[in-house]
Homo-oligomer: A and B are copies of this chain.
Amino acid sequence: MKRITIKDVAAKAGVSHPTVSRVINDDPQISEPTKERIRAIMKKLGYRPNLIARGLVKKKTQVFALVIPDLNPHVQPIVRGVIDECRRRGYGLMLFSTEYWTKEDETYSYVVSNWRVDGVLIYNVVHHERLTEDVRQLKAENVPFVFINKYLHKKNVNTVAIDNSQAVRQAVENLAGLGHKRIGILNGSLMAVDGVERFEAFKESLARLGLKFDERYVGNANFSDSEAAEEARRILALPDRPTAMFCANDLMAMGAIRAAEAMNLRVPADVSFIGFDDLEAGHWFKPALSTLRPPLRDVGGRAIDLLLKAIEDPRRKPEQVPLLAKLVLRDSCGPAPKN
């Protein structure tokens, strides 16, 4: 059960093993006919380079690490994107979870020093400010890293993130364009980056459009449909209820719409709703959900791109890549009611 090595190939070809190595690495010094001949032999013997051995000398493992808090539905397409891109680029991907990491843990040291990965992708939805500590650890390990969906506005780290400001602004501007003046929000958890950013962006957008921000129109629904329904019931019962609601995710939008309908409000005739995520369910939902579609699948690819650039040129200055969500208009929002 011994595996074929470079030396077996060399012996069969009647050359030295470094020559085979050069063929593998496509060294231009080797003549084309020799290359062809040796490649044929490698193929015939079923030779596979041993990345472990190569890693030992090159100090490169051809493996990246992806560190995530948990596998929520948001993370899925991102992970998929990362896997695909790694495969395309000839990298392997190791997956780590931060879930049980404690403060005392040398979290990133574990990933980098132990597994000798060539780069780290960090997806961390929690809004908790560990930034400085994380970055310190990572820099100490001297490994390139990029953050995903976080720290888009920090100039000293590599980041790829959905641009919440741009996304929310589109939604609010669209509602304003439809004549809505009283616009409410069902917000996600303020423990999460997305929750905070979308809320801030919402307030800014209203301000920019000269619309009033009304505390009473704010529902904190924690990204959950049932909580959204509850908050929607409260907000829509107000005498001067909003005529449109921006919802920080589709789940909440759907929960809220069902609640509105249960109150005999017509959507979108009486109230308009717009969500965020573009869940598949939003297609099937009635009324079909207007929403913001974040290019999640691209996130992974762009993150790997950045990582690769950082590897090529270690003194390259950090870059922040905002990814733009697309406004998808369907049936859940319409012109503001006349009254």
Instruction: Please give the residue numbers on chain A whose beta carbons come within 8 Å of chain B beta carbons, in ascending order.
Output: 1, 3, 48, 50-53, 55-56, 61, 63, 66, 70-73, 75-76, 79-80, 83-84, 87, 92-97, 99-100, 109, 113-116, 142, 225-226, 281, 284
Contacts and interface: CB of A to CB of B under 8 A. Distances in A.
A1 B61 CA distance: 17
Contact of A70 (B80, B93, B96): B80
A280 to B, nearest CB: 9
A311 to B, nearest CB: 15
A93 B55 CA distance: 18
Contacts of A115: 51, 63, 92
A80 B51 CA distance: 27
A225 B97 contact: no
Give the copy number: 2
- Which of A75, A92, A100 gathers the greatest number of chain B CB atoms within 10 Å? A92
10 contacts: A48-B109, A48-B113, A50-B56, A53-B56, A70-B76, A70-B80, A80-B97, A84-B100, A92-B94, A93-B94
A61 B70 contact: no
A186 to B, nearest CB: 16
Contacts of A225: 281, 284
A94 B83 CA distance: 10
Given A71-B76, A284-B225, A97 B83 contact: yes
